[in-house]
Structure 1
């Protein structure tokens, strides 16, 4: 007897690119949901392209998410930048990735509770 997850993995296919995904309504819905989320979160600002710059490309990455019982949860599409095409010193000079440790968040929350502070 096969599990429902095993059956789902064998019956659902994940497209490799936009062309094959665009043939299916559920993948088009997933792409639209991703674009809506990116716009709602103000992920980027549309600006005129300076003639002396190289534009970083993008591609769609598709995944199928399953519930723990193996049944299909949703189709997920992510628009990702192809940052590997950038050349250090030409396309960018500095990089910064703000990362916070979970232990730091726990300490701040603990201090807030202990001192009766409000958090925003």
Structure 2
């Protein structure tokens, strides 16, 4: 096989130079770590909004972990929401549980995840269009509000938002 490297053809290396303008645009990138997010005011504000919504809605209670209980971790997910023209609408931070740490029979007995199929969306849009209905889109402000749990789940405190005793966790 004849390859580019055998013929001495190589892509030239490019070296990035960080300018003050690039540093300004770094605030629009989605952070990879909690440390990066907490250092940028837009992301810190988005995290504060999510955390305050969880506290306001009494999503959890701070407690000590009982002996033998499984502790589920959590992490922050960051996303830049844009308008149709590509401009930034807002910074969105979501706290999600690391459900892969759960144990069947201990933390849950059955699993159900309501997911809308594309065929259903197309059908609803077709009906709305044919009947001249108006359509609206909503954005759920808080992911943990979407269901009631029958089981007791213990989750670690969110990174960057330790409240009270660091040894306590949420359930």
Q: Same fold (TM over 0.5)?
A: yes
TM-score (norm 2): 0.47
State how many pairs are aligned: 92
1:62–1:77 CA contact under 8 A, matched in 2: yes
List alignment gaps of at least 5 residues for structure 1: 1-10, 104-120
Aligned to 2:85, what secondary structure does the other structure show? Answer: coil
Q: Tell whether 2:32 aligns with 1:16.
A: yes
Structure with greater Cα Rg? 2
5 Å-filtered alignment, 1:91-106, equals 91-95=107-111
- Measured in 2, the distance between the counterparts of 1:23 and 1:81 equals 23
- 1:98 is displaced (CA, Å) by 8.1
List alignment gaps of at least 5 residues for structure 2: 1-24, 116-123, 125-171
Q: Tell whether 2:85 aligns with 1:69.
A: yes
- 1:91 is displaced (CA, Å) by 2.9
Which segment drifts farther, 73-82 or 19-28? Answer: 19-28
- Measured in 1, the distance between the counterparts of 2:98 and 2:48 equals 20
Going from structure 1 to structure 2, the CA distance change for 1:39 and 1:89 (only over 3 Å counts) comes to same
Which segment drifts farther, 12-21 or 60-69? Answer: 12-21
- Measured in 2, the distance between the counterparts of 1:98 and 1:71 equals 31
Give 1:50's match in structure 2, choosing from 66, 69, 76: 66
Superposition RMSD on alpha carbons, in Å?
Answer: 2.4
**Higher helix fraction (1 or 2):** 1
